[in-house]
Structure 1
Amino acid sequence: MHGTLTLDLMVAGHAVPTPCERVGSGADVLLLPALSTIASRAEMAGLAARLAADHRCLIPDWPGFGAHPRARLPLNPATFHAYLDALLAAAPGPYAIGVGAGHAAAYLVAAARRHPKAFARLVLVAPTWRGPLPTVMGPERQGLFTAIRRAVEAPLLGDALYGLNIRPKVIGRMMRAHVYGDAAHVTDSLIAEKTAITRQRGARFGTAAFVTGGLDPVPTRDAFLGLFGDGLPPVRVLRPSRAPRRSAAEMDALVASGRVEGRPVPGALSPHEEYPDEIAEAIRAA
């Protein structure tokens, strides 16, 4: 089975029509795409196809992200927690597996704590908790990050600033630097698909929030590690071999905590899209 449906969710007092893909048949699986300038549910399509023989996959878009015009609503961690609550009320499962990529990982783990019967196990693909600018520049520059976000959100000026950062050459450079592990996989057609995502109406607001750390689910590594431990279903972390150094350090700290099971996989920050066969195998592995 493969089809598109729209869940009419209410999140933080806002109507949020949420397009989703349903793929396959069997035990239910929730696949949550990453948050990024180029994020959409389509990045999970290859992985879902490989799980579809014995799993029924649900793939939603996050509020403020995806290859469609985006509704305007407050983009902050509280909204994203409320979004998953609304999603799990509308599509409660229970899910044999919950899969979260990038920033979706921490939100998924928090949701599993609030909904202890929703997931039998969790798989976190290249989990992150800190946005690009805080990762590169450090948290002490928060005032600058806030100013950048406000500038990108502003009328006219924001469109101009955002436009400079979504040119195909910029998208391609970003993907080769840290999204894909093998630069040869970043083709012109892939860049065109990703660029189209960035040009949806309202896209700059999700990007501004994510890049500046406005969607970081926790403020510190200790808080991130504190999400894990007793009270959760089994958690498997898929750690890509070519993840950027700072992001890799956070994944390694999580695995070293002993609160999750770690498994190596190829790729960088989007291995679920670049290497769906290997990720499906790592999800299925005993």
Structure 2
Amino acid sequence: MTMAFSAISSTTPSFTLSCKKHKSPSSHQVRVSLKPLSFSVKASSTSIGYSSSSPSVADKQSLTLKSNNWQWKFKNNSINIYYEEHGRESLEPPKNILMIPTISDVSTVEEWRSVAQDIVQRTSDVSWRATIVDWPGLGYSDRPKMDYNADVMEEFLVDFINAPDSPLSLSENDLVVFGGGHAATISVRAAKKGLVKPKAIAAVAPTWAGPLPIVFGRDSSMETRYGLLRGTLRAPAVGWMMYNMLVSNEKSIESQYKSHVYANPDNVTAEIINSRYALTKRDGARYAPAAFLTGLLDPVKSREEFLDLFASLDGKIPLLVVSAEGSPKRSKAEMEALKGAKGVNKYVEVPGALLPQEEYPTIVAQELYKFLEEIL
């Protein structure tokens, strides 16, 4: 999820920006304004009470949010990983949902907050607790300069779920995973290997190819260009200059949101743009996005591998695929390939583009909650 790039030289790799407008679904004109919650993201531990007026939930639910940092031990380093826990008071132990943000240059827990709040406050026989976690190198987590790739991200996810000090505090199979974009595919890949054993997985607008590979392919010539661009973005001085020009400016972020991240440009608010722009100014902000843009975070290399991941869980783990009506053409084709595919128990389509869970949270939450009821 980022600006599309065009390679324009056959000798010296260079890249310019271009974007294509995608029309929003005509049957859904929903205005959404995401308001960041009022707490310090670097707080060691914060508990917040909040309320909701949603007609689908009880009028007076005691809801809580706790923000914190978990220390991920990776190659003798300790990396601060930011996460949030959304829940409501209940006499019964809650069941766990892990919500993982879409990997992008502006990836953040904020994209799942409204969905989390919607689900945990619903009254039923089951009490749910939703944990949203930022990837290393993205969102509000630390962003060290290291070699980010799909294996590193998978290792993080496995450790976050399975570590003895994991914030999830799981009993056997007491976890449902909701992932967006690449996060969904990485989760399925980890499950295929048996490294994680969730009760179910919901893949929301799942993707597997980064912005450049999905547009320009992965032949040796393009891989060379990607490597040069990645190296430039990681360089001390010129890297920041290029990153500021391509990604870390309000106009670029607004352009990508209006062209392919959201389906309805009217839903893109100044508040959202300002929030995402602030993320791009964090220390080390360019390292993980440089890997994502150039395909290093891609969990597979082809549609065949993509379909094989989902097929591998057939009869083992229930899988829901939530496709988005207004997704960019190439990404939408990959989502549609999962319709009726082996291993996919249920396939639904919702309005939106690459972030339907943020743009249309009420609709997405409703589909996810139906899935939760079905698997129970």
Same fold per TM (> 0.5)?
A: yes
The sequence identity of aligned pairs, in percent, is 31
Name the residue aligned to 2:225. Answer: 144
Asked if 2 retains the 8 angstrom alpha-carbon contact of 1:68 and 1:200, the reply is no
SS in 1 for 2:271: helix
Q: TM-score normalized by structure 1?
A: 0.95
Asked if 1 retains the 8 angstrom alpha-carbon contact of 2:190 and 2:196, the reply is no
Q: Which amino acid aligns with 2:354?
A: L
**Aligned partners of 1:116 and 1:218: how far apart in 2?**
17
Q: Name structure 2 gaps, 5 residues minimum.
A: 1-63, 89-93, 122-126
> Which protein shows a greater Rg?
2
SS in 2 for 1:18: strand
**Aligned partners of 2:176 and 2:110: how far apart in 1?**
19
Asked if 1 retains the 8 angstrom alpha-carbon contact of 2:250 and 2:273, the reply is yes
Cα offset, 1:276, TM superposition: 0.8
Name the residue aligned to 2:152. Answer: 79
Cα offset, 1:167, TM superposition: 1.2
Alignment of 1:93-242 (within 5 A): 93=170, 94-115=173-194, 118-140=197-219, 141-165=222-246, 166-231=248-313, 232-242=316-326
Name the residue aligned to 1:266. Answer: 351
**Aligned partners of 2:130 and 2:199: how far apart in 1?**
15
Comparing 167-176 with 117-126, greater Cα deviation is found at 117-126
Q: Name structure 1 gaps, 5 residues minimum.
A: none
Cα offset, 1:117, TM superposition: 6.8
Moved over 6 A (4+): none
Q: What's the CA shift string for 1:25-47, capped at 9, x where partnerless?
A: 42110000011011111211111
**Aligned partners of 1:124 and 1:2: how far apart in 2?**
24
The structure-2 alpha-carbon separation of the partners of 1:12 and 1:245, relative to structure 1 and needing over 3 Å to count, comes to farther
The structure-2 alpha-carbon separation of the partners of 1:77 and 1:198, relative to structure 1 and needing over 3 Å to count, comes to same
Asked if 1 retains the 8 angstrom alpha-carbon contact of 2:202 and 2:319, the reply is yes
From 7, 19, 32, the equivalent of 2:82 is 19
SS in 2 for 1:263: strand
From 36, 52, 56, the equivalent of 2:104 is 36
SS in 1 for 2:339: helix
Name the residue aligned to 2:134. Answer: 61
**Aligned partners of 1:77 and 1:37: how far apart in 2?**
15
**Aligned partners of 1:57 and 1:181: how far apart in 2?**
26
**Aligned partners of 2:84 and 2:307: how far apart in 1?**
31
Comparing 91-100 with 221-230, greater Cα deviation is found at 91-100
**Aligned partners of 2:357 and 2:158: how far apart in 1?**
24
**Aligned partners of 1:107 and 1:274: how far apart in 2?**
23
Name the residue aligned to 1:8. Answer: 71
SS in 2 for 1:130: coil
Bigger share in helix? 1
**Aligned partners of 1:282 and 1:187: how far apart in 2?**
25
Cα offset, 1:198, TM superposition: 1.1
State the superposition RMSD in angstroms.
1.6
Name the residue aligned to 1:244. Answer: 328
